[in-house]
């Protein structure tokens, strides 16, 4: 997935993203926000998008949200202003080149973003770098099913993925290869298990 393709796609998605994906992907947002809030400290949300998850975090955590798309980020900024979320800072940034020192965050959330970035392994490496020892990385994403109805849907969507801005065929192994991160939890998310919930720990 090329950067120009992602930029163009999310420029198109920005005006309708909340109405299309708001309820559909809510379970992952709720789970990630609750997990991060329970842990406390400093949270980085990679791919904050239009900011749909931001109101779900507790006020006791300090949240930094980043996104590559200026159009998506502008909508997140509107939510922050309207809801007066003083514990939220937003920055435009590439997930593949995070502008933060090593060991900066207690929790990093990456919801529906790793199958979008051009180089997910590089993005995950950057995420591991900015995690403190013992930090949790929370990932919600669709991963390749390969079989059954989901596998058929993936094959049908594959020719459209550059227009959609995300990969339909994205194997889970692409986010499990960094030796600094060990898996604590992996389970399907409702509805229908289309999305997967992953918790990784920075060792």
List, for residues 99-125, the tens digit of each pLDDT value: 999 999 999 999 999 998 999 999 999
> Cα(102)–Cα(181) distance, rounded to whole angstroms?
15
Residues 6+ apart with CB under 8 A from 157: 164, 168
* CATH code for the domain in which residue 90 is found: 3.40.50.150
Whether 21 has a pLDDT exceeding 80, the answer reads no
Report the DSSP beta bridge partners of residue 187: 197
* 148 vs 171, higher pLDDT: 171
Q: Could you list the residue range(s) of the whole structural domain that residue 176 is in?
A: 3-202
Domains contained in the chain, number: 1
- Residue-wise pLDDT tens digits, 156-188: 455 445 544 456 688 999 999 999 999 999 999
Higher-confidence position of 192 and 67: 67
Under 8 Å between Cβ of 50 and 79: yes
* Reported pTM: 0.85
């Amino acid at each position: 997935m090329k950067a120009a393709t992602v930029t163009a796609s999310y420029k198109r998605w920005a005006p309708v993203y909340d109405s299309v994906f708001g309820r559909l992907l809510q379970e992952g947002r709720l789970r990630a926000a609750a997990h991060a809030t329970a842990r406390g400290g400093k949270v980085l949300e990679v791919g904050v998008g239009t900011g749909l998850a931001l109101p779900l975090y507790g006020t006791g955590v300090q949240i930094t949200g980043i996104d590559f798309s200026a159009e998506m980020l502008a909508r997140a900024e509107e939510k922050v202003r309207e809801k007066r979320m003083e514990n939220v800072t937003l920055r435009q940034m590439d997930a593949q080149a995070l502008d933060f020192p090593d060991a900066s965050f207690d929790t990093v959330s990456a919801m529906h973003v790793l199958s979008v970035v051009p180089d997910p392994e590089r993005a995950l490496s950057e995420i591991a770098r900015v995690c403190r020892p013992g930090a949790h990385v929370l990932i919600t994403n669709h991963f390749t099913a390969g079989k059954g109805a989901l596998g058929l849907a993936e094959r049908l969507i594959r020719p459209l993925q550059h227009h959609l801005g995300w990969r339909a065929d994205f194997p889970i192994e692409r986010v499990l290869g960094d030796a600094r991160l060990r898996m604590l939890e992996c389970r399907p998310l409702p509805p229908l298990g289309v999305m997967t919930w992953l918790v990784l720990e920075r060792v």
